[in-house]
């Protein structure tokens, strides 16, 4: 089935508009269907207009499918809750939904990161130089991706223990929550950054050598200078 170069991803409280190969809808996915007939997809702008649906455009993402680059316009429909539309969580498990739609839904799920600013009595901030991930060779705050069933306040403590070998206790301040989409792939990251104290020496750390190359105390100013992660920079700015 050929696919339009531009489609519209309309979502309203967990419901998503799908149409059939003729552009008619709404149609619903069938969970577990594996015939890969590609019978449903996102509508085009014209098809949405013909349905009489107005929407507020939120962002545009790019999906590469084979040799085709598809522009996906993400929007919020100005209608009451669309009971007959597809449940978002059902789309991913139906092979007859076009991969552009399934990939778009997959990308719409937030990636959750939990970090921590660790200070000593001098006010210095502990940072680690990483050997893998997005910031290889650069200094970052301890932390990382959260596990599926994990609260962010637990995730950064776990990551600090795994990466640096120290078991920290978070203070009672409210964490800084930051969200950002970094490129036209449309993947959204959400970061929770907590605060903690530790007064040990670098020699006391037990670095996870597969992931962490080095660790060092920085003054707040130098921590800001060396930070490269958007979320680390925002958290350090907020902490000054």
Domains of the chain (ranges, CATH numbers): 6-107 (3.90.79.10), 111-239 (3.90.79.10)
- Work out the average pLDDT over 27-35: 91
Q: What one-character-per-residue DSSP string does 148-176 give?
A: TT--HHHHHHHHHHHHHS----B-SSPPE
Band of pLDDT at residue 110, cut at 50, 70 and 90: very high
Distance CA 196, CA 172 (A): 9
Secondary structure class of 108 (helix, strand, coil): coil
* Cα dihedral: 138, 214, 130, 216 (round 10): -60
Between 191 and 31, the more confident residue is 191
Distance CA 76, CA 43 (A): 14
Distance CA 208, CA 195 (A): 22
Query: pTM for this structure?
Result: 0.89
pLDDT tens digits, 159-171: 999 999 999 999 9
Distance CA 161, CA 197 (A): 14
Band of pLDDT at residue 1, cut at 50, 70 and 90: low
* pLDDT exceeds 90 at position 240: no
């Amino acid at each position: 089935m050929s696919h339009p170069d531009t489609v519209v991803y309309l979502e309203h409280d967990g419901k998503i508009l799908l149409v059939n190969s003729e552009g008619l809808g709404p149609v619903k996915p069938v969970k577990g269907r594996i015939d890969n007939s590609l019978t449903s997809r996102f509508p085009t702008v014209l098809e949405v207009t013909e349905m009489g649906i107005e929407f507020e455009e939120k962002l545009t993402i790019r999906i590469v499918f084979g040799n085709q680059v598809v522009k996906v316009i993400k929007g919020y429909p100005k209608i009451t809750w669309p009971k007959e539309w597809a449940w978002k969580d059902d789309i991913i498990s139906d092979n007859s939904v076009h991969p552009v739609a399934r990939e778009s839904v997959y990308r719409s799920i937030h990636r959750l990161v939990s970090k921590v600013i660790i200070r000593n009595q001098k006010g210095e901030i502990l940072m680690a130089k990483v050997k893998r991930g997005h910031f290889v060779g650069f200094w970052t705050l301890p932390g990382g991706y959260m596990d599926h069933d994990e609260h962010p306040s637990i995730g950064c403590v776990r990551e600090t223990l795994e990466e640096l070998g120290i078991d920290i206790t978070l203070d009672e301040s409210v964490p800084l929550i930051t969200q950002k989409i970094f490129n036209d792939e449309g993947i959204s990251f959400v970061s929770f950054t907590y605060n903690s104290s530790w007064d040990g020496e670098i020699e006391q750390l037990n670095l996870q050598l597969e992931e962490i190359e080095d660790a060092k105390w920085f003054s707040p100013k130098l921590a800001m200078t060396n930070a490269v992660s958007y979320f680390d920079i925002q958290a350090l700015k907020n902490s000054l």
